[in-house]
Amino acid sequence: MWQYSDILMDHFMNPRNVGNLDTPDGHSEVGSPQCGDAMFLDIDIDDKGRIADIAFKTFGCAGAIASASALTEMVRGLPIEEALGIRNSQIAEFLGGMPPEKFHCSVMGHQALKAAVEDFRAKCDEINGIIGELGIEPVLIRPGRVYLKAGDDIDAVKKALDERLERKISVEVR
Ligand code: FES
């Protein structure tokens, strides 16, 4: 059996942030080419571009469960770029060490986070494109909500988003 630290065992036995978010701003599904295991990850991004909420599910091993649990704890509240900059060695350090043979398991969480951020950005770009066609520049876009300036044509934006997207998006003036 691999030698695991007490902290890693705690994150394996009691993983944090397991599950999924109701209407995530970003979602990903990734797999590990080394072992075929998989991970699903959801994120919500707040108005300042920080990770407001995060949840994961994995079919991975103890190392994958513990490292994903650690990663979710480490990135909560961080700006996106900072969260993406967390290295596997930092996750291993957070967990009090990890057998080198299990390092690839911690890579999956990082890949899942990166893919969820890409999904978040793609959704925002899609909304921005639709609103841009109306000649309107939103104040802020998130996959579930859009803020416009006073004087912007809210009804036209709502109509365009309703027609072009399957999900419901709230539109407000800020
Ligand atoms: Fe598959 Fe660890 S062996 S994630």
CA of 44 to the centre of ligand 1 (A): 26
Identify the pLDDT of residue 161.
Answer: 98
Domains of the chain by residue range: 6-118, 123-173
For residues 85-96, average pLDDT: 95
Q: What is the DSSP letter of 18?
A: B
- Ligand 1 site residues (CB inside 6 A) read 32, 35, 37, 60-61, 63-64, 105, 108
Pairing of strands 51-58, 38-45: antiparallel
Which residues are tagged catalytic?
A: 35, 105
Identify the pLDDT of residue 1.
Answer: 73
Q: pLDDT tens across 127-154, in order?
A: 999 999 999 999 999 999 999 999 999 9
- Binned at pLDDT 50, 70 and 90, residue 75 comes out as very high
Of the candidates 67, 68, 73, the one whose C-alpha atom is nearest the C-alpha of residue 95 is: 67
Identify the pLDDT of residue 131.
Answer: 98
Identify the pLDDT of residue 101.
Answer: 87
Q: Does domain 6-118 have CATH number 3.90.1010.10?
A: yes
Which atom number of ligand 1 is nearest to the Cα of residue 102?
2
Which atom number of ligand 1 is nearest to the Cα of residue 34?
1
Q: Which one of 1, 11, 59, 61 would you pick to mutate in the ligand 1 pocket, going by the greatest count of ligand atoms within 8 A of its CB?
A: 61
Which atom number of ligand 1 is nearest to the Cα of residue 58?
4
Q: What is the DSSP string of 84-126?
A: HT--HHHHHHHTT---GGGHHHHHHHHHHHHHHHHHHHHHHHH
Q: pLDDT tens across 27-50, in order?
A: 999 998 888 999 999 999 999 999
- Binned at pLDDT 50, 70 and 90, residue 2 comes out as confident
Q: Which one of 104, 107, 110, 111 would you pick to mutate in the ligand 1 pocket, going by the greatest count of ligand atoms within 8 A of its CB?
A: 104
Identify the pLDDT of residue 120.
Answer: 98
CA of 120 to the centre of ligand 1 (A): 26
- Binned at pLDDT 50, 70 and 90, residue 122 comes out as very high
Of the candidates 70, 76, 123, 122, the one whose C-alpha atom is nearest the C-alpha of residue 95 is: 70
Identify the pLDDT of residue 103.
Answer: 86
Q: Which one of 95, 105, 106, 111 would you pick to mutate in the ligand 1 pocket, going by the greatest count of ligand atoms within 8 A of its CB?
A: 105
